[in-house]
Amino acid sequence: MKYRLFAVACTTMSFVLHGFFHGIGDTKTPMRMSPLTNVAMIFFTYTLTYGKLGFPEIGLTGAGLAVLIGEALGLIGCAYMYFIRLHPMYGTRRFTAVDGAEVRLIAAESGKLGVQELAMSGAMFVFTMFVTRLGTDALAANEIALNVMGLGFMPAFAFGATATILVGQELGREDPFRARRMGTDTAILGDLFLLALGAAEFVWGEEVARLYTSDPEVYHLAGRLIRISAFLQLFDGLLNYYAGGLRGLGDTGFLLRASLLLNWLVFIPLAYLLTFYFEGGSTGAWVSLYTFLALFAMSVLIRFYRTDWGSARVKQAGAVHH
């Protein structure tokens, strides 16, 4: 456990540096650090857990240590890029005095985004509790379907991060209408990708589920959940893209309010009703999930286009900062 806690600390610091890289348009560095981190984790998990290639066999402790080594290597790589390679251009090793206004801005923005994610994580925890009460087959099918749908979620998350970067950069250049265009173009490209992926998942959903299990009850149900999600995941994509655009715009307060309202006043009650009261089972649970995602996606989409882009500016710690 202590190794994992240190690994979390390394991951957190790496995420901060990734945010800087994204802000300057350097997406290659995080991309390169990811395989370094994961390959190291895989290598040391194998060698330290089972005592291979001359390494000691230390079981689960080795697995935890492997995660720490991988995350630490990723952090070292990011720190090298930040403090060494980027110093001539950005002065990254130069000491600057702490600005109280900037600290308050950082705390406020990170706090709102953190609570937003906490609201979603908590709601998904309750959702999983509901599915667990349906039995082991339903739970297994749910996990398989979520795993397969992750094939769409991760690219959607990447397109959302791209929207944040591009919208923020164009606002920084004081070209708000081009910022809006960047958000729109990112959403179109992202949903074209998800549309193609969804078509494949709709056709081969059950075949993919069979790769996880030989239990007919589980893979039939998982296949049905995957087909339900195949095209409805377009809403998950829209949520990521336009929420990313709103983050680039600095409209994090709306994201927080929408997340709290829709997760806890719509998603959880609807999931309970469709799963148990109307006896929809796993299908009802997933219909409630995508109803929530559709409502959230539409709310951020409308917010994005109803923004007064003519007066949109980068959010700053104070009027004196440029």
DSSP assignment of 233-285 equals HHHHHHHHHHHHHHHHHT-HHHHHHHHHHHIIIIIHHHHHIIIIIS--HHHHH
Structural tokens at position 299: 């709310």
State whether residue 313 is helix, strand or coil. Answer: coil
Distance CA 197, CA 191 (A): 10
pLDDT tops 80 at residue 278: yes
Query: What is residue 95's predicted lDDT score, i.e. its pLDDT?
Result: 84
pLDDT tops 60 at residue 211: yes
pLDDT tops 50 at residue 173: yes
Q: Is the CA virtual torsion 82, 88, 89, 93 positive or negative? A: positive
pLDDT tens figures, 245-267: 999 998 999 999 999 999 999 99
pLDDT tops 70 at residue 321: no
Distance CA 249, CA 242 (A): 10
Which residues make Cβ contacts (< 8 Å) with residue 44, sequence separation at least 6? 55, 62, 65, 66, 69, 70
DSSP assignment of 103-116 equals HHHHHHHHHHHHHH
Q: At what angle do helices 100-132 and 136-172 cross, to 10 degrees?
A: 160
Tokens 């996880």, residue located? 212
pLDDT category of residue 110 using cuts at 50, 70 and 90: confident
pLDDT tens figures, 217-232: 999 999 999 998 888 8
Q: At what angle do helices 216-249 and 281-306 cross, to 10 degrees?
A: 10
Distance CA 238, CA 242 (A): 6
pLDDT tens figures, 201-210: 999 989 999 9
Query: What is residue 48's predicted lDDT score, i.e. its pLDDT?
Result: 92
Q: Of 178, 200, 185, 186, give the one whose Cα is nearest residue 156.
A: 186
Please write down the long-range contacts of 61-69, taking CB distance under 8 Å and 24 or more positions apart: 61/3, 64/1, 64/2, 64/3, 64/4, 64/7, 65/3, 66/40, 66/41, 67/3, 67/4, 67/7, 67/41, 68/3, 68/4, 68/6, 68/7, 68/10, 69/40, 69/41, 69/44
Query: What is residue 320's predicted lDDT score, i.e. its pLDDT?
Result: 40
Structural tokens at position 240: 């990521």
pLDDT category of residue 317 using cuts at 50, 70 and 90: low
pLDDT tops 80 at residue 1: no
Q: Are 269 and 277 in contact (CB under 8 A)?
A: no
